[in-house]
Structure 1
Amino acid sequence: MATGALSLRALVLGPLHVNALGNGRGSIHMCASVIPSKLGHLEPNNLVLSTNTSVTFVKMGFANPKFPASAAFDAINSALTASEADRKDAIKKGSGLYAFTLKNKAGETESWHIDLKQKGAVGTGTGEKPDVTLALSDDDFGKLVAGKANAQRLFMSGKLKIKGDVMKATKLDPVLKKAQTKAKL
């Protein structure tokens, strides 16, 4: 392969991760691959293969095409990681691990979490020992994040199920409001 050339291979069956290899001569080889869902998401890591070649795993996004409202998790993550001050503020105000289990129109379920205990970031799966788990339809989650639905009304009507610390769930409102302007659902 010539210097500066790009090689790209992709197989997308689940959460997408990309690794890139530099050959030391200026070209970069990238391979998009899938990390099995049961592993959750990978943190960015560098694996040194030799003195001049390394592999980097990077989480590309949280949206799942089977769950259209899941694109909001990218907006939430962007809002949380916009600046170190925003991230620290969210951790201070939220101080918990929030899991979301969404159900789509086909009856499938998928989970994401917002870590406001330590990382100030979004991840796939329920996370380790969530303080509160919110279960609702993909449609209702989209409306909630877009500001077109009220969490209290969803809860009272039985459309939102909460497991764990119900009072913690109320601390999510500022995080969801920040993401409203970024979410395009």
Structure 2
Amino acid sequence: MATKIDSELKSAAIFQQMQQHLQSDAGKDVLNKVGLVYQMVIAPKKLGKDEETFVVDLKKGKVYKGAFEGKPDATFSFVDDDFVAVSSGKLNPQMAFIRGKMKVKGSMSAAQKFTPDIFPKPAKL
């Protein structure tokens, strides 16, 4: 059973869906294919203010709020609305990066594997 991700951010609903998705057969395929750990830093309006950290662990199939114990393969920083746009396919991740709407630390090759197909297909939020 997935644990509730407690946050006021719109992104939290996506992380909640992702957590359930990773426990499905399609989610297990993602784990086998990607097998990396991503840390997401999401700010409500402006990076650097009131940020919340989430982990998408595609090795263990876990999604949770809080910092990763150790070194994640890549860390992404977003404003809440931009994360929602990227994860729902409304904003191309490369364009988000080029426009400065997404910041990346860590392995660029790992970051490039964080693609929209790891997200569950958009449900109405």
Q: State the TM bucket, normalised to the shorter chain.
A: 0.7 to 0.9
Aligned to 1:37: none
Higher relative contact order (CA 8 A, sep 6+): 2
| Rg comparison, structure with higher value | 1
Paired residues, number: 121
The amino acid of 1:124's aligned partner reads: K
The amino acid of 2:33's aligned partner reads: K
Question: Is 1:104 paired with 2:47?
Answer: no
The correspondence for 1:76, drawn from 18, 22, 42, is 18
Give the TM-score of the pair, scaled to structure 2. 0.86
Gaps of 5+ in 2: none
In the TM superposition, structure 1's runs of 4+ consecutive aligned residues that sit over 2 Å from their partners are 180-183
Question: Is 1:137 paired with 2:79?
Answer: yes
- Identity of paired residues, percent? 31
Q: 1: distance between equivalents of 2:90 and 2:67?
A: 25
| Deviation (angstroms), 1:142 | 0.7
**SS of alignment partner, residue 111 of structure 2:** helix
| Deviation (angstroms), 1:61 | 1.4
As a proportion of its length, which structure holds more strand?
Answer: 1
| Deviation (angstroms), 1:151 | 0.7
1:45-98 deviation per Cα after TM superposition (whole angstroms, max 9, x unaligned): xxxxxxxxxxxxx76311511x12221001111111123xx3432122111100
Question: Is 1:180 paired with 2:121?
Answer: yes
Q: 2: distance between equivalents of 1:93 and 1:111?
A: 24
Gaps of 5+ in 1: 1-57
CA RMSD of aligned residues (A): 1.8
Give the TM-score of the pair, scaled to structure 1. 0.60
The correspondence for 1:126, drawn from 42, 50, 67, is 67
The amino acid of 2:30's aligned partner reads: A
